[in-house]
Structure 1
Amino acid sequence: MEKVLSITAEELHRKMNCGEDILILDVRNETDYNDWKIEGKKVRSMNIPYFNFLEEDEQVYAGLPKDTEIVVVCAKGGASDYVAEMLMEKGYKTWSLKGGMLAWSQFYYPATVYRDEKLKIIQINRLAKGCLSYAVISEGKGMIIDPNQKVDVYLDLAKQHHFKIEHVVDSHLHADHISGGLQLAEQTGATYYISSGEVKDTNLKFEPLDRHNRIRVGEIDVEVLAIPTPGHTPGSTSFLINNRFLMSGDTIFVGGLGRPDLGGKAKEWAMDLYDTVFNKLSNLPDDCLVLPAHYADIQEINDNGIVGATLGEIRGNNEIMRNADKESFTEQVAGAVSMEKPPNFEEIVAINRGELQVDAEKAIELEIGPNRCAVHHHG
């Protein structure tokens, strides 16, 4: 019997990026598939649960193309090997995703947003979660914004781009993924910053962002302005770099605003968000590029592989950003509380506050699933 060919998450992403004609066949159950799946702008995906392949019913194969590569995906890689083998025996071109959705959830993809002789900005996209983190680099020094828990990604990046990580910041206390901020700072000797309002009554070792309205990175006095932008959480902070790039955390997204209800004070935080949008950020120029900490829709990735849009585009495309009526804005944003909350968000917040310790396996398991931090209001 031929051995099934396996493909890594990185290789799969490369194929997707090159626009190769592939079909992703997800053999998890329908609920899991509908909740969270591998997506790409040109990716075709279909769901036939694993058990259907055990029934020896030829109809199962009816919709599968013989002339297209099929990548079979399951939760952890076992069932997909089995199904890929069955397909191979029937003459289909198949691969099995090594490690399944678990491996996909741990894949991070770096892309350069901007570079000149003094400044480089890299966006690190964790595609399965829609989580974005950033490296801001100048003259061999670097600042990492919103790192996820797989800190090796950032250590490798620092080696590859020849910079020393001096600053690590979290824009807010994350609820949908485990922060790698403190661990990364400890491993590199960098300073770890977060707003003190986010972690009060904890034992975390941190430098309060509220005491630093500027952070210097290398030469450009990379004017990193730490702007308090409450709304998604009370201590949410955005970082304005050289008045041209706004790392907006979960305050402003390409297609929406951060949801204000994860602390149980939706109305109150929605009012803060109004103040942030219409007072604190209103005088930023339209050509300022917004680089958020999350995205919720694959369409938000542009043709250069970057999630980002100018403030002018966001203001123009997002009806809620134009709704200057405080009461109706607050109602609209607070109304998003009916959305499903991020999976396991209470435990993840407790880990990020330093109140709960879990082993690596449990940490990975807690993060499985999509992010749900955005409120989308197109119009």
Structure 2
Amino acid sequence: MSMSITAQELHDQMENNRETIILDVRATSAYLEWHIDHQNANLINIQTSKLKASGPEVFTEIPRDKEIVCVCAHGNASEEAADILNEHGYHAVSLRNGMSAWSEFYYPTSVVSTDDFELIQVIRPAKGCLSYVLVSGDDAIVVDPGRHTDIYMDIAAKHSVQIREVLDTHCHADHISGGSALASRVGANYWIAASEMGEGRINFHSLEDGLRIPFGTSKLDVIAIPTPGHTPGSTSFLVNDQYLLSGDTVFVSGLGRPDLGGKAREWAALLYDTVRTKLNQIDDQVLILPAHYSGSDEVTQQGYVGARLGEIRATNHLLQGVSEDEFTDSVAGNLGLTPPNYTTIVHVNRGELFPSDEEATELEIGPNRCAVKHLVG
């Protein structure tokens, strides 16, 4: 029986600058669509059936002198692959529960920390999802939480704070929100734009333009700014005029796709207006902190995902004053594949469907596809 490591242990190994050989034994199509991404990961894709049929020695890209982490969808095929490798003199372990476990792994990193304020980014690397915990005094605000709410409870407990407000920038389509569940769990208010919820049955407070949410002992406040385009009710949050939690409106390497409601050109026009009337009014020095990222190349040396708005403007020609027609044609005309299961996930996030934990895990399998990354110039 092969040894196994957890998603946390794999992450820690890669974060500690240890080169990690990952042998993904899934079908090539599944691997190309979605795989572990880290700057210290050396990826190999060979199926277990091929290792069994030909012997691992045939595949010279598999090193004999380094530990090999075998990965599959749920951990079964990778255990078999690790056993085969170990029987032939390699040193191999299996990622316990495979990509299913990696999909549900989160870790926190501090973006900024002062005497009376800390902004924590919670990274879910398999999904490219980003959420936030704002801490001040005895209070905390959580923005765009994932459905695994223990991570936010743990952060609050570590900082000895109470979660007072939970905010979603929009109705997410690539993952199940933990906003309502977390708010209910801690007795907090749950906020989202009313237009995002349709006929859903979730209790919420409606975000309005200019809503200010002061908290803690600091002088910070959170200002809600409607930024429609990815969805009509998308809302960004400006924190102390220094940090914009931008949801899926603007990313480090692109803008939010406008087509998931079936109105690509109409919503692209909304996004153009958001760029022209909202983003253009924000100072270049404001740090953009989005709800998603596209790859490990977007992680800064400080360990978080984000960039100054001026840097993003300089690399994205659609933020540089192009015409509405050019903007709309570019955004609406090159969208690529949609997020897996997105219509079902939207119904879940509106309180119209109630999947079991096992069903929720399956719904979330796969990458996020919320960005139009080709917009980077």
Report TM bin, short chain: over 0.9
SS at match of 1:166: strand
- Report the Cα offset of residue 212 of structure 1: 6.0
Amino acid at match of 2:315: N
Aligned to 1:373: 370
Shift of 1:202: 2.2
Match of 2:323?
325
| Contact 1:16–1:43 (8 Å) recurs in 2 | yes
1:355 aligns with 2:352: yes
- Check conservation: 1:254, 1:290, Cα contact below 8 A: yes
Task: Tell me, in whole angstroms, the C-alpha distance in 2 between the residues paired with 1:211 and 1:298.
Answer: 33
**Following the alignment from structure 2 to structure 1, what is the Cα–Cα distance between the partners of residues 238 and 116?**
16
Shift of 1:54: 2.2
Matched letter for residue 317 of structure 2: E
**One-letter amino acid matched to 2:190:** Y
Name the SS of the counterpart of 1:233 in structure 2. coil
Identical residues among aligned pairs (%): 48
In 1: Cα distance, 2:276 partner to 2:210 partner: 23
Alignment check: 8 A CA contact 2:199 2:350 kept: no
Q: CA deviation at 1:67?
A: 1.6
2:15 & 2:223 partners in 1: Cα distance?
Answer: 34
Residue equivalent to 1:178: 176
- Counterparts of 1:25-174 in structure 2, within 5 Å, are 25-57=23-55, 60-174=58-172
RMSD: 1.2
Contact 2:341 2:363 in 1 (8 A): yes
Residue aligning to 2:253? 255
Letter in 1 for 2:39: K
Deviation of the 1:213 alpha carbon = 1.3
Q: Any residues of structure 2 matched to 1:333-348 within 5 Å, and which? A: 333-337=331-335, 339-348=336-345
Deviations 1:75-128 (CA, angstroms, capped at 9, x unpaired): 111111111111112221211111100000010010000010111000000000
Whole-angstrom distance in 2 between the partners of 1:251 and 1:69: 41
> Matched residues in 2 for 1:15 and 1:236: separation?
37
Report how many residues are paired: 376
Q: How far is the alpha carbon of 1:251 from its aligned partner? A: 0.1
Residue ranges of structure 2 left out of the alignment (5+ in a row): none
Relative to structure 1, is the Cα distance of residues 269 and 211 closer, same or farther in structure 2, using a 3 angstrom cutoff? closer
After TM superposition, give the deviation of residue 59 of structure 1 in Å.
5.2
User: Which SS does the other structure have where 1:133 is aligned?
Assistant: strand
Moved more, 238-247 or 65-74: 65-74
* Matches of 1:238 and 1:71, distance apart in 2: 39
Secondary structure, counterpart of 1:125 in structure 2: strand
Residue 320 of structure 1: how far off its partner (Å): 1.6
Pair 287,212 (structure 1): closer, same or farther in 2 beyond 3 Å: closer
| Alignment TM-score, normalising by the size of structure 2 | 0.97
CA distance in 1, matches of 2:57, 2:39: 29
Paired residue secondary structure (2:130) = strand
Q: Give me the whole-angstrom Cα distance separating, in 2, the residues matched to 1:343 and 1:299.
A: 23
Structure 2 residue identity aligned to 1:372: R
TM-score (norm 1): 0.97
Q: Does 1:364 align with 2:361?
A: yes
The runs of at least 4 aligned residues of structure 1 exceeding 3 Å deviation read 56-61
Instruction: Give 1:271's aligned residue.
Output: 269
3-state secondary structure, aligned to 1:285: coil
Q: 2:319, 2:56 → 1: CA distance?
A: 52
CA distance in 2, matches of 1:53, 1:134: 42
**Distance in 1, Cα, partners of 2:47 & 2:98:** 14
Amino acid paired to 2:256: G
- Structure 2 Cα separation of the partners of residues 293 and 116 of structure 1: 23
Per-residue CA deviations over 1:282-340 (Å, capped at 9, x if unaligned) read: 12111100000001122111112210000010001112211431111111111133x10
Q: Tell me the CA shift for residue 221 of structure 1.
A: 4.2
Could you tell me how far apart the structure 2 residues matched to 1:44 and 1:57 are?
A: 21
Structure 1 residue 216, shift from structure 2 partner: 1.4
Which residues of structure 1 form unaligned runs of 5+?
none
Q: Quick one: which amino acid aligns to residue 127 of structure 2?
A: K
Measured in 2, the distance between the counterparts of 1:86 and 1:318 equals 48
